[in-house]
Structure formats: C-alpha cells, structure tokens
Structure 1
Amino acid sequence: MGSTAKTEDTPRQAPAEDQDDGQDGSSDGEAWVLYRDRKEWADVTPVPQDDGPNAVVKIAYTDGYSDVYDYLRAVVKKGELSERALYLTEDAINMNAANYTVWQYRRKILKNLASNLEQELNFCREMIEMNPKNYQVWHHRRVIVEWLGDGTKELRLTEIIFSQDAKNYHAWEHRQWALRTFKLFEGELDYVDRLLEEDVRNNSAWNQRHFAITQTTGFTAEVIQREVGYTKAAIAKVADNESPWSYLRGVVQHCEGPLGGVGELGAWCQTLHDDGQRSSHLLTFMLDLMEDQMERQPDERPSLLKRCIEMCESLATEHDKIRREYWRYIERNLSHRFGA
C-alpha cells in the first residue's frame, strides 16, 4: 500500500489535522506533486467534474483535491485496476474518507491484484482512528475481514476505539458483527464488567451485556436472577441512573411469572421508595410492576390503581415535570383499563 501503516496491536498517534502548506494529500512531509505533473500518469487524460451548465452551489475544491478526483474519474472510466490506481484511491480517501465510490473501487482493485489483505487491514485501521464515526471506513473493514475469514483482531480494534469514545455506535455495531459472525463471545461479559466498573452510566455497555447474553446462554431463570442481582448492585451505586433501570426492564421482560417476584423486586423498589430515593426511573419501574400485578390479580386492582394514579401525579408534578402531559395520559389510560 501507499501508507506506512501501524500494526494492529497499539493505538497510533493521530496525524496532524492541518495541511496548510499546499501539500493536500501528502502525510509524510514530502512535497505534494499534482498528478498532472507526474510522468507516470502522463498517459491518462483527467476527467473534470461536470456540475452541469447551471450549478446552484459550486463547491470551491482545492487544486489538489480536483486534481486527484479528476484522475480518479479517468481511472474508473477506463476500468484500470492497477497498483498505481490503488495508490490513487488512497490519496482520494485521505482527502475524503466518506466517498463510498472510492472505497468500492478500491475493493475492486484489491481483489483484482490479490493484494495483501493484512496490509489493507493496517491501512483501514489508520483510517478508522482518523475517522472513527465514518460508516464507509467501517464497512470497508468488515468486507476485508470477511475476505480473510478471521475476526480476532476486531475485538482489540474496537476496544481501542472505545478507549477514545465509549459510545461509538459504529464500533459497537462492528464488534457485535464480529462476535456473532466468528463466535467470539468467550470473555465478552468480563469485558462488559470492566467497562461498567469504569462508568456505570455507559448505556452502550449495558446494551452490549443484553446482546451477549441473548446470543449465548439466553435469559434462563437462573440468568435472570443473576442479572437482577447484578443490576440492583449497579443501581445502589448511582440510583438516578437511567441505564441500569432500562436494562432491568429488559431483563424482567423475559420472566414468565410476576415481575415483582423476581429477586423480590417489588419489595426492593418499595424500600428504595420509602428511603426517599424517588427518582423518575424508580417510579416508572414501579408503575410497570404494578401494571403487571393488576393484569394478573384483578382483586388487587382498586388499591393498586390508586397507587398508580398517585405515582403518575408525582411524576407529573415533581419528578418528571417536562413530561407532565405524558404522565397525565398514562394516568388516564390506566384508569380506563383497570378502573371499576
């Protein structure tokens, strides 16, 4: 490849952001030479961008950018799948990593040349660290990994990205794909544990915990009890933390019996409530438990409905005022469903 890529083992240093010296695509300190001034490209006639006769907003591309993409269009037009065309796509990607056409053509060249895909992984790694939220870069990485049939490096790569941004959606999606495709789930819950120890509010890690269990053991009765205990411990650390409450709701939805009976959730929630830890998350969860109880125990409906109405009012006027009208709607809905 045209880049000097790092290995997959350690984070690389981010490159300099600015290239104000007119070098455009040069990242190694060498003076940038326009393609039209390169002897090895003299046989190619560049194809300028055609914006039509009445361009509404004409983009002021730099001379270097226009030069690279004019030659890229020429290469694509004639279907050249050569080593020099591969280098050209690298320059084009460095200038605009979001151009999906360039990535697609690069893959076509790689396949035609039977290129070293491990080296391509290194190049892709550099691009990901420079463009961690660029869908095209992640998609390219996935395709190369599929061609290699080995996803073992993807866990380490995503861990590096999470150390910079623990909630990078593209990295989480890529990690889940690699885990599922190559059956790499061993140790995944331990990794999630470490993330949650570092930041119990990491909603992405909570989501990953649910994903890992769903894809492996499933939510058996034993797993549900374990996860309820795990989540209660996390809530005890930070009671006003939406993430574990959402996770807890997801766990108990797998129950076959009364939700409040799992790990004595009803009694536990009531204790928190009586101790004054009345976050909107606790009250919302208690509403869910009481709604489930009203559906299962018709005789208890009058007293439970009264409590639900009081709790909706508390949410509307004190704990979640911004959604006041929503809680008034929930109050009316419950009264309609469970009232006498």
Structure 2
Amino acid sequence: MGDSSSDDENVWVFYKDRSEWKDVDPVPQDDGNADIAAIRYTAKFKDVYDYFRAVLTKQEKSERALQLTKDAAELNPANYTVWQFRRDILKTLNKDLYEELEYSQHVIDEHPKNYQVWHHRRVLVEWLQDSSKELHLTELILNDDAKNYHAWQHRQWAIKTFNLFENELSYVDQLIQDDIRNNSAWNQRYFVINNTSGFTSDVLKSEISYTLDKIKIAKENESAWNYLRGLLLHDKEGLSKNETVRNYCEQLYAAGNRSPFLLAFLVDMCDELINQGGEDTRYTLDRAKDLCNSLATQYDKIRARYWNYMAEKIQNKAEGKSEPMAPSSSFADDES
C-alpha cells in the first residue's frame, strides 16, 4: 500500500523508535494465510497501524493517540475505524471541535471523494449545531468538481437539517448557466423546490417555462428533459395534456428536430393517451410505433431492443393484451 503522507520515510521517526511510545507493544496486522496475494505495506504504514491497533485494543484516549489517528488517516483516509476512534478521543479529551473542522476541511481538500471524512465532518457539525461553514465548503469543492456526489450529499443534508434554502435556487441557477448539462445542479433544483414551495400550479408553470427555455439552448440536453419529466409527474393532467409542453414538443418535431429525448417524450405521450383511451389524432398507436422504429433504427440505436419492446408493449395495451416480456440484462443491441 502506498504512502500518502508528505513525510519522507528517510526522515520519518518510526513509532517503534520514539521514546514516548516505549510502553506500548505494537499489534501486527493479521492477514491470515496471504502468501498468494500478500499486501506489500510500506514500513511506515506497518509501523503506524501496528501502534494504532495497540491503542485501539487498549482504548487509550490520549493526546498521543489522537496524533496517531491523524498519521493513520493520512496513510489511509478511507479507514472507518480510524475516524470513529478519533471522534471517541475528541469527545473524551473535550477538544476544540472548530479546530477539528479546519482539519477535516484540509483532508477533504486532499481527498474530496472520500466518504469517511465527509461523514466525520457531518458528525462534527451535528455536535456543534453550527452549519455556518458548510455551504461555503461545498461550493469550494464543487468549483473543482461540479458533480462531486459527496459534496452534494453533504450540502443537501446541511440545507435540509439547518433550513438553509434561502439562496439555493440562485446558486443552482448560476451552476446551470455555467454548465447547462450539469445533471447534479438540475437534481438540486428539484430538491430545493420539493422541500420548499412544492410543485404548486404556479410553480409548475414557472418551472416548465424555465426548463423549456433551457431546452431551446441545448435540445440534446438529457438533464433538462429528465427534469421536465419530473415536473410533469406533479401535473394533475399527466405527461401528455400540458398544452405548453405539447405545443413545444410538436413545434420542435415539425421543425425537423429528432433528438432522441424529444422522440422518447412523444412516445410516452402516445403511451399515456392510448392507455387512457383518448381519441387524440396526434398521439395514436401508429405514431407511437413509427417513433419507436425511428429511435431503434436511426436516433437511439444503442437501445434498439428497448424501443422494439416499447412498440410491442404499447400495441398490446391498445389491444388489451398482456405486456411482452422485457429484454433481459441490457436494452442495447450486440454489435455484430
């Protein structure tokens, strides 16, 4: 296992050579019979974790043990036991948790996709009941990686737990302006509205207008199309009867746009209206089958099996038959 510490092994003073640790007997790692695939630990890693296991076994909660957990976390920041024991020591020693927040930010900066350090920080914030630094921290991380799952998860937790919704839509809107295909930002927009105003008729009207404006900018943007679907789940008229959306989709289609997301949307409109027994001449079984065929043979060939399945499924529903068996494992065709 590699050494993630900034200290060079040549200048590192091993715990076994430190006078203040002479009273501790290190506990070696027991990997069992690992001759076939033995892990090649560095000397430093072995030294630190042998002593960490020793203090863990003794449940020694001291300043030196706290420093040891820091060295252990630097070598393996994903080790849950290290972080849990560090928290136990922090509580026992009644340490300054704001200093620990600063330390956790340093580790997050170095390892922004490490679940354990994000969890560690959440516990600290819960203990302190102070979320004042969390939005700024997550913004810094998202500036470097706008789709960092751990940062978004932490941000949503902080916002919901401490009611920090006030300026979040403005922040999300800026992210979407910066990258209209940022699926995480679209997801966050849904999260904010769902947890504040809810999808009232006025909100739906406003959000549908907002989303269609974004689709006009990038018609191949799957994120915006998915968000539009999510909005219409809250429309009592369903997917197919919102006139604003219907007219927009039909205008796009009439203008020659064949985005697979547009065609898929039209297929689902047909499916819904056929299922309801509607008489709308624009959303017929024949049109649904033609759209599925176009997707399968031209515009979304990677999912040809899925679209063939959808065509059969819609026809069976129209004729009152049972649904066909869905394709197994993958909707993608095998390349020949």
TM-score by length of 1: 0.89
**Offset of residue 153 of structure 1:** 1.1
Q: Work out the CA distance in 2 between the residues paired with 1:303 and 1:21.
A: 70
1:65 to 35, 45, 48: 45
The answer for the alignment partner of 1:114 in structure 2 is 94
1:190 matches 2:170: yes
Q: Secondary structure at the match of 2:181?
A: coil
Relative distance call for 1:174 and 1:81 in structure 2 (3 A) is: same
- Amino-acid identity (%): 50
Deviations 1:77-100 (A, max 9, x none): 111000110000000000110111
Gaps of 5+ in 1: 1-15, 24-30
1:316 and 1:327 in contact (8 A); partners too: yes
- Residue by residue over 1:291-338, the C-alpha shift from the partner in whole angstroms, topping out at 9 and shown as x without a partner, is 222334533379611111111111111100111111010000000111
Q: CA deviation at 1:258?
A: 4.4
Indicate the RMSD between aligned Cα atoms, in angstroms. 1.9
Evaluate the alpha carbon distance shift between residue 229 and residue 53 of structure 1 in structure 2; reply closer, same or farther with a 3 A threshold: closer
Q: In structure 1, what is the equivalent of residue 28 of structure 2?
A: 48
SS in 1 for 2:133: helix
How many residues get paired?
Answer: 318
Q: Does structure 2 conserve the Cα–Cα contact (< 8 Å) formed by 1:305 and 1:339?
A: no
Is residue 225–residue 262 contact of structure 1 (8 Å, CA) maintained in 2?
Answer: no
Corresponding residue SS for 1:166? coil
Whether 2:208 is the aligned partner of 1:228: answer yes
1:321 aligned to which of 282, 295, 301: 301
Q: Distance in 1 between matches of 2:151 and 2:242?
A: 34
Higher relative contact order (CA 8 A, sep 6+): 1
Q: What residue is the counterpart of 2:68 in the other structure?
A: 88
* 1:237 lines up with 2:237 in the alignment: no
**Native 8 Å contact 1:229 1:263 kept in 2:** no
1:267 aligns with 2:247: yes
Identify the residue that residue 235 of structure 2 maps to in structure 1: 255
Structure 2 letter corresponding to 1:233: D
Q: Which residue in 2 is equivalent to 1:9?
A: none
Q: Distance in 2 between matches of 1:303 and 1:40?
A: 80
Q: What are the equivalent positions in structure 2 for 1:259-338 lying under 5 Å apart?
A: 259-262=239-242, 264-300=244-280, 304-338=284-318
Deviation digits for residues 223-242 of structure 1, max 9, x if unmatched? Answer: 11111000001001111110
Amino acid at match of 1:262: N
- Offset of 1:262 from its aligned partner? 2.9
1:106-255 to 2 correspondences below 5 Å: 106-255=86-235
How many angstroms apart in 2 are the aligned matches of 1:18 and 1:271? 59
- 1:48-82 CA distances to partner (integer Å, 9 max, x unpaired)? 11223554422111111111111111111111000
Is there any run of 5+ residues in structure 2 with no aligned partner, and where?
Answer: 321-336
TM-score, with structure 2 as normaliser = 0.90
2:330 corresponding residue in structure 1: none
Q: In structure 2, what is the Cα distance between the partners aligned to 1:144 and 1:20? A: 28
Specify the code of the residue in structure 1 equivalent to 2:291: M
- Structure 2: distance between partners of 1:264 and 1:195: 26
CA–CA separation in structure 1 for the residues paired with 2:216 and 2:282: 31
Q: Provide the C-alpha distance between the structure 2 equivalents of 1:141 and 1:56, rounded to a whole number of angstroms.
A: 38
Change (3 A) 1:262 1:80: same
1:22 to 2:9 alignment: yes
